[in-house]
Structure 1
């Protein structure tokens, strides 16, 4: 694709008004993980019109790999809501039963690498602020779907993908290689990526690119190609199984699961740090017991660990499992372990990271290339990245700066929507350099 940087930026800037309308439409109609019916149809319809090969439903989602899938009642309610909001049934139907998401492929006229971009679709289960001073309220694009809101900026990410998609479609005849656009469900639940990998969504991908907004890059035009501290995460439900008995009459016959849970909690929180990197552990919930005078026959703990290195992550995993088993043994309890969520620590490919930084320095839309940015959160993009890297490909996760009122995951998030154009320019220029330079 032989196009100057200036013309690339001007062409993308010309899309801004349309992109802003798309973003505000999606912002008004948010849906969370495995319920992103409206966004799925919205995206698929446009990509189909632009000449992409569209894959949906079971072709891109392995149903059994999903976590925390809503019940049938909520699935139907949100499917019907998407229809009410105007979703095209043709593109909605493949997503029935929570098989949301879209993968779109565009093949250039000339041979070249396969470059994949990932964008997330889901919102948060929270209520958006209706404060009259907020732009979303004043300009009437606040969420109309009670209890759901795009307060992490995934609507921004989705529309960045659409801007990029239209740009590539308009330059298809000049393009080398293959473009794959992955619009992923359930990033917040950290199971969208793991449900796409078994279906081959990132097989034979040479380069995988993803990104996000950041609360602590508060200037439009800031950009970080080097993302650090993308934390590995693991979440379990542990069930300690005891024996009920009368707490006064026959306490010797009981096995108190709550005592095991209490001992486990204290010792889990006392795990020593690992020297290789940041590690965090949290017991977020304990539940158990039946009444005042019954020895608790069951207790459940929700435990989470996060770590910035594989060494620290493996160490925490080993210590958690050992402590839970020791607590169970101490009180003669059974132990059931259910792994709920797992995502890996992020590792950018150095070559692709360097290329992204070079692109940031080339673009006039980018005002500052930050040396590195600590994410200090978890992202299931890392599962896709690990799969690509394991097959010999490269991946990078980048961060885009914008003023963010309220902060990510707050009820009053506001962003500068021009960040969509900045991000699309980064991604489009990376494709040019990967296929020509």
Structure 2
């Protein structure tokens, strides 16, 4: 085991420049949602260069590449998301986005580059594998979600993975730079969106008594929704309801007919999720009716709770602790961020890890994920590569992990 882990680190370091080179190339061509033609073309070129077979899904915007070892055995899947965000980059990097208005502001460029590096290494050493490694290159993680359509199109079949793993870079939870975070069970929250349309009767701002003011109603709804968390849930139950956008009105003296509200709800179990969805609609409608108006709520469920399999998480953590014994962080609480890796983990046991690797911007500040000045410490990428490689080599050795 010791030799294998040392080899994994050496293989990762030997390919470190390639990982960084690929990340920088991908960083320059950020694309959104489920349409990633340039990104997929780049990944396909690299897979062709490495001699790795793949198939296309989601109208050519997703790839599944599989490496088969010398003998039959278990199958490990490694997932990498490829999409970017509608953010105008302000990093000043030499390899900054060449697509105006789009930016890899969440680290998916590094996830893809890391997975490509792992694929190259394992393909060069496939004789050591007793089984298969499947690489899932996925679009649309940021919305509308690419995991479920990939699953629906058979990404997890032929062969079906026994386990799946992934890693997210940046800083989704506070950890020392360079550390790797692990957590059993709930790691990330469900991610849902709700919109509320409040209807009243508009009129002159100087004669409010002749109107039904939807702005006042929206304000009452906003306050009412917060009481779901503070008064209807146990203090030890984690959930949140955030109204992030309110639109209505056109002038300082016109009470509008409608106000539109948009927000997100996050929970850590399906029972709470059901309750929050129901209560948002009931509170909005009830308050609006009380004040003479009406409210229509549309609640959309996007990603479920991300649950890590405890057994496999402990297994990968054990391998990682031999590689980087001083860099392990046991995360005590989940983050309320959402991730559609959750869909794979509902189908197959696996684990999702965090690599803390923010890099300071030119002003010295480390900006978080989704910020226009977000950047990553490229000197940490090899850690992710080595963990994936070491896990595959160990899991798919002759004495298969049980």
Q: TM-score, normalised by structure 1?
A: 0.78
Please tell me whether residue 164 in structure 1 is matched to residue 118 in structure 2.
yes
**Relative to structure 1, is the Cα distance of residues 299 and 410 closer, same or farther in structure 2, using a 3 angstrom cutoff?**
closer
- Matched with 1:269 is 226
- Matched with 1:317 is 277
- Matched with 1:42 is 42
Between the aligned partners of 1:339 and 1:165, the Cα distance in structure 2 is 39
Alpha-carbon deviation of 1:24?
1.1
**Relative to structure 1, is the Cα distance of residues 249 and 268 closer, same or farther in structure 2, using a 3 angstrom cutoff?**
closer
8 Å Cα contact 1:190/1:379 also seen in 2: no
1:250-304 CA-to-partner distances (Å, cap 9, x unmatched) read: 976x655444323212211232432242221111122235667766333221021
8 Å Cα contact 2:194/2:265 also seen in 1: no
Please tell me whether residue 415 in structure 1 is matched to residue 376 in structure 2.
yes
Structure 1: which 5+ residue stretches go unaligned? 62-93
Please tell me whether residue 307 in structure 1 is matched to residue 261 in structure 2.
no
Partner-residue secondary structure (3-state), 1:281: strand
Residue 120 (structure 1) aligned to one of 72, 81, 87: 81
Between the aligned partners of 1:217 and 1:305, the Cα distance in structure 2 is 25
- Matched with 2:21 is 21
- Matched with 1:108 is 69
Residue 329 (structure 1) aligned to one of 275, 289, 297: 289
Please tell me whether residue 234 in structure 1 is matched to residue 192 in structure 2.
yes
Between the aligned partners of 1:369 and 1:249, the Cα distance in structure 2 is 64
8 Å Cα contact 1:116/1:179 also seen in 2: yes
Alignment of 1:9-158 (within 5 A): 9-56=9-56, 60-61=57-58, 94-95=59-60, 100-130=61-91, 136=93, 140-158=94-112
Please tell me whether residue 379 in structure 1 is matched to residue 336 in structure 2.
no
Q: Which has the higher contact order (CA 8 A, sep 6+)?
A: 2
- Matched with 1:296 is 256
8 Å Cα contact 2:68/2:131 also seen in 1: yes
Alpha-carbon deviation of 1:399?
1.3
8 Å Cα contact 2:267/2:336 also seen in 1: no
Between the aligned partners of 1:194 and 1:251, the Cα distance in structure 2 is 50
Compute the RMSD of aligned alpha carbons: 2.9
**Relative to structure 1, is the Cα distance of residues 337 and 376 closer, same or farther in structure 2, using a 3 angstrom cutoff?**
closer
Q: TM-score, normalised by structure 2?
A: 0.84
**Relative to structure 1, is the Cα distance of residues 230 and 238 closer, same or farther in structure 2, using a 3 angstrom cutoff?**
same
**Relative to structure 1, is the Cα distance of residues 240 and 362 closer, same or farther in structure 2, using a 3 angstrom cutoff?**
same
Alpha-carbon deviation of 1:431?
1.8
Aligned length: 383
8 Å Cα contact 2:107/2:170 also seen in 1: no
Partner-residue secondary structure (3-state), 1:377: coil
- Matched with 2:363 is none
Alpha-carbon deviation of 1:241?
4.0
Between the aligned partners of 2:298 and 2:176, the Cα distance in structure 1 is 39
8 Å Cα contact 1:285/1:301 also seen in 2: yes
Alpha-carbon deviation of 1:349?
0.4
8 Å Cα contact 2:114/2:381 also seen in 1: yes
- Matched with 1:81 is none
Partner-residue secondary structure (3-state), 2:148: helix
Alignment of 1:319-358 (within 5 A): 319-331=279-291, 333-358=293-318
1:111-131 CA-to-partner distances (Å, cap 9, x unmatched) read: 222221111112222232355
- Matched with 2:359 is 404
Between the aligned partners of 1:248 and 1:7, the Cα distance in structure 2 is 77
